[in-house]
């Protein structure tokens, strides 16, 4: 195996100090996840790894399990005695979490320990400000830096108008315009990537994330789909993976999402304009609907705040409130199951002791 410099993979003093607490284990970073099988990078190179039974048992949900970008402690540095075993996940500096598909309760980690998240949105049929607000709320909550990347500029005849719309919702966020049709059409992305920096690309299916990453890699490493007759791209990425860039830094590619359900979000950062207006409302518990003295509704009437933005803000508030209730219900159910399992094992042990006495 080719040896790795873990500091070039984002290792810092905080992670190193945490790792030093586990004397018999070895530090590694997860590069690929396939269900319960992982690829991890250690100082001795990349190897396959499975998850220790204790981590599977103690995990209260998908969000607790190791994910791509996580720093973990493994029991070996090679696969000669079988797969390495991940014994411990170290604390995360940042984490992108969405609600898991097919459930109203559990969460799914998209990437961990990232510094910058590029939110990709195409300037053709994918353009959707309400979806962008949702993505921004997700990234602000992750503790990573959000950057909006507008792709397929060559397919947009009214670029200045679309940019103006984006600036109304991407408050305090850098906005980049890219096109795959020009050799330097992605150059602005590189300014955010340095040695030891981890970036992630997220966005809907077919917006051109893989094409941009291939430009950064300098090779066609990731599969890309051709544009269909309706100008929509094809979904190509099927799993998350961490890739080392030739100029330094790492990138995490994530599968495109047809919809993004939030597990957590920072609405205060993504809707800072509404939060500021809300502070001027006559009533502290104003719902911004029909109350007298509502500064938010006044801004809508004056045309300084888009009605659609307010509606989305209220919608996301309700969604997060509902998600919080369901999460507490799920935690209670899991706690109950755990105690039942422990009680069942105790009952089995007691029965075994009784049989031994009778013998």
Domains belonging to the chain, first-starting first, are 6-89 (2.40.50.140), 95-221+238-257 (3.40.50.300), 266-357 (1.10.40.50)
How far CA 14 is from CA of 11, 71, 95, in Å, comes to: 8, 11, 16
Q: Residue 287 corresponds to which tokens in the numbers above?
A: 């719902």
Please state the residue numbers annotated as binding site: 151-154, 203-211, 281, 286, 288, 294
Q: How many CB atoms lie within 10 A of CB 103?
A: 14
The secondary structure of 302-325 as a DSSP string is HTSS-HHHHHHHHHHHHHHHHHHH
The Cα 198–Cα 116 span in angstroms is 7
- What's the number of CA atoms in the CB half-sphere (13 Å) around residue 51? 20
pLDDT bucket at 10, cuts 50 / 70 / 90:
very high
The pLDDT tens digits for 242-286 are 999 988 899 998 876 666 778 788 999 999 999 999 999 999 999
Residues of each annotated binding site for Zn(2+): 281, 286, 288, 294
pLDDT for 107: 81
pLDDT digits (tens, 9 = 90+) for 219-239: 776 655 444 444 444 444 456
3-state secondary structure of 238: coil
Where is average pLDDT lowest: 135-144, 303-312, 328-337?
Answer: 328-337
Residue 124 has pLDDT above 60, yes or no: yes
- The CA distances from residue 267 to 153, 165, 237, in Å, are 29, 19, 29
List binding-site positions for GTP. 151-154, 203-211
């Amino acid at each position: 195996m080719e040896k790795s410099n873990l500091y070039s993979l984002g290792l810092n003093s905080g992670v190193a100090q945490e790792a030093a607490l586990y004397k018999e284990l070895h530090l590694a970073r997860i590069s690929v996840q396939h269900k319960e099988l992982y690829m991890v990078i250690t100082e001795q190179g990349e190897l396959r790894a499975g998850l220790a039974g204790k981590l599977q048992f103690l995990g209260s949900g998908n969000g607790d399990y190791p994910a791509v970008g996580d720093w973990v402690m493994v029991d070996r540095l090679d696969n000669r005695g079988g797969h390495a075993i991940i014994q411990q996940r170290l604390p995360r500096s940042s984490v992108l979490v969405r609600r898991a598909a097919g459930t109203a309760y559990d969460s799914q980690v998209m990437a961990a320990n990232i510094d910058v998240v590029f939110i990709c949105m195409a300037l053709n049929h994918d353009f959707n400000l309400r979806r962008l607000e949702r993505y921004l709320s997700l990234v602000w909550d992750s503790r990573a830096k959000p950057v909006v990347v507008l792709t397929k500029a060559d397919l947009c005849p009214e670029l200045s108008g679309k940019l103006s719309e984006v600036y109304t919702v991407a408050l305090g966020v850098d906005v980049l315009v890219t096109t795959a049709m020009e050799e330097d059409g992605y150059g602005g992305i590189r300014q955010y990537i340095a040695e030891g920096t981890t970036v992630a690309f997220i966005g809907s299916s077919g917006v051109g994330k893989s094409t941009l990453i291939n430009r950064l890699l300098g090779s066609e490493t990731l599969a890309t789909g051709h544009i269909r007759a309706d100008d929509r791209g094809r979904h190509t990425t099927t799993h998350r993976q961490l890739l080392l860039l030739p100029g330094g830094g790492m990138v995490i590619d994530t599968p495109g999402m047809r919809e993004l359900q939030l597990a957590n979000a920072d609405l205060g950062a993504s809707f800072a304009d509404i939060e500021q207006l809300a502070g001027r409302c006559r009533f502290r518990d104003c719902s911004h609907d029909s109350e007298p003295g509502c500064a938010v509704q006044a801004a809508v009437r004056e045309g300084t705040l888009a009605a659609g933005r307010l509606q989305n803000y209220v919608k996301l508030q309700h969604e997060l409130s509902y998600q919080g209730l369901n999460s507490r219900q799920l935690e209670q159910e899991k706690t109950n199951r755990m105690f039942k399992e422990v009680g069942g094992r105790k009952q089995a042990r007691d029965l075994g002791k009784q049989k031994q006495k009778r013998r």
